[in-house]
Structure 1
Amino acid sequence: MKRYAAIVWLALAVLAPWAQADTVNVDGGMAFFHRDWEVACDNTRTCRIAGYQQDGDEHAISVLLIRKAGPAQPVTGELMVGAYDEEDFDLLQRLGDPLRLSMTIDGVSVGAVSVSQESLAAKLSQAQVAALLAALPGHSTIEFSTGDVSWHLSDDGAAAVLLKVDDYQRRVGTRGALARKGTRDEADVAPALPVPGVHQASVVDRTMSADALPAAVDLPALREALAATTSSEDCDLSPAEEGGPVPFRAARLDAHHLLVSAGCWLAAYNSGSGFWVIDDSAPYQPVLVTTIGSDYGDGRISSSMKGRGLGDCWSTEEWAWDGRQFVHTASSTSGMCKLLAPGGAWSLPTIVTKVR
Structure 2
Amino acid sequence: MLRGFALAGGWVLLPALAAAASPEPKTFRDWMAGCDNLKSCTALSLPPESADAVAYLRLERPAGPDGAANLVLRLRGDWKKPPAALQLKLDGAPFPAGGKPLPAAADGDMVSLSFQPAEIATLIEAARKATKLAISAPGVTATISLSGSVAAMLWIDEQQGRLNTTSALVRKGNGISVPAAPPLPIVTAKPAAGTLSEKDGKALAASLRKQIKQRDADLCEDDEMLVAADEAWALDGERRLVGLACSRGAYNVSTGFWMVERGDVTAAKPVALPEGEGDAKNMLTNADFDPKTGRLSFFAKGRGLGDCGATGGYAWTGTAFVQTELSMMGECRGIGPDDWITLYRSEVK
- TM-score w.r.t. structure 2 length? 0.77
Deviation at 1:324, TM superposition (A): 0.3
Aligned to 2:342: 349
Stretches of structure 1 that go unaligned for 5 or more consecutive residues are none
Q: Aligned equivalents of 2:206 and 2:132: distance in 1?
A: 65
Q: 1:58 to 1:284 in 2, by over 3 A?
A: closer
Deviation at 1:78, TM superposition (A): 0.9
Aligned to 1:177: 168
Q: Give the AA of the match of 1:171.
A: R
Deviation at 1:174, TM superposition (A): 3.4
Q: 1:312 to 1:217 in 2, by over 3 A?
A: closer
Q: 1:316 to 1:244 in 2, by over 3 A?
A: closer
Aligned to 1:39: 33
1:115 aligns with 2:115: no
Q: Pick from 315, 320, 335: which aligns with 1:325? A: 320
- TM-score w.r.t. structure 1 length? 0.76
Q: Aligned equivalents of 1:334 and 1:15: distance in 2?
A: 12
1:284 aligns with 2:276: no
Q: After superposition, where does 1:131-280 map in structure 2 within 5 Å?
A: 131-146=122-137, 149-179=140-170, 181=171, 183-187=173-177, 189-204=178-193, 209=198, 211-212=200-201, 219=208, 222-223=211-212, 236-237=219-220, 248-280=230-262
Q: Give the AA of the match of 1:237.
A: C
Q: Secondary structure of 1:163's match?
A: helix
Aligned-residue Cα RMSD (Å) equals: 3.7
Deviation at 1:132, TM superposition (A): 1.9
Q: Aligned equivalents of 2:26 and 2:155: distance in 1?
A: 8
Q: Pick from 106, 109, 112: which aligns with 2:91? A: 106
Q: Aligned equivalents of 1:72 and 1:14: distance in 2?
A: 40
Q: 1:89 to 1:254 in 2, by over 3 A?
A: same
Stretches of structure 2 that go unaligned for 5 or more consecutive residues are 274-281
Q: Secondary structure of 2:25's match?
A: strand
Q: Aligned equivalents of 2:163 and 2:57: distance in 1?
A: 23
Q: Aligned equivalents of 2:228 and 2:115: distance in 1?
A: 52
Checking the alignment, whether the CA contact within 8 Å between 1:225 and 1:284 is kept in structure 2 is no
Q: Aligned equivalents of 1:346 and 1:13: distance in 2?
A: 23
Select between 144-153 and 70-79 the one with higher mean Cα deviation. 144-153
Deviation at 1:109, TM superposition (A): 2.7
Q: Give the AA of the match of 2:45.
A: G
Q: 1:64 to 1:14 in 2, by over 3 A?
A: farther
Deviation at 1:195, TM superposition (A): 2.0
Deviation at 1:143, TM superposition (A): 1.8
Q: After superposition, where does 1:89-100 map in structure 2 within 5 Å?
A: 89-90=79-80, 93=81, 97-98=83-84, 100=85
Q: 1:247 to 1:182 in 2, by over 3 A?
A: closer
Q: Give the AA of the match of 1:331.
A: L
Q: Aligned equivalents of 1:222 and 1:204: distance in 2?
A: 26
1:78 aligns with 2:72: yes
Aligned to 1:303: 298
Q: 1:153 to 1:192 in 2, by over 3 A?
A: same
Q: 1:214 to 1:222 in 2, by over 3 A?
A: same
Q: Secondary structure of 1:338's match?
A: coil
Per-residue deviation, residues 216-257 of structure 1 (Å, max 9, x unmatched): 996478426975xxx96xxx23656x9998985321111221
Q: 1:123 to 1:14 in 2, by over 3 A?
A: farther
Q: Secondary structure of 1:165's match?
A: helix
Per-residue deviation, residues 82-122 of structure 1 (Å, max 9, x unmatched): 12xxxx224xx2xx641x22222233333332112335112
Q: Give the AA of the match of 1:81.
A: L
Checking the alignment, whether the CA contact within 8 Å between 2:73 and 2:113 is kept in structure 1 is yes
Deviation at 1:310, TM superposition (A): 2.9
How many pairs were matched up? 324
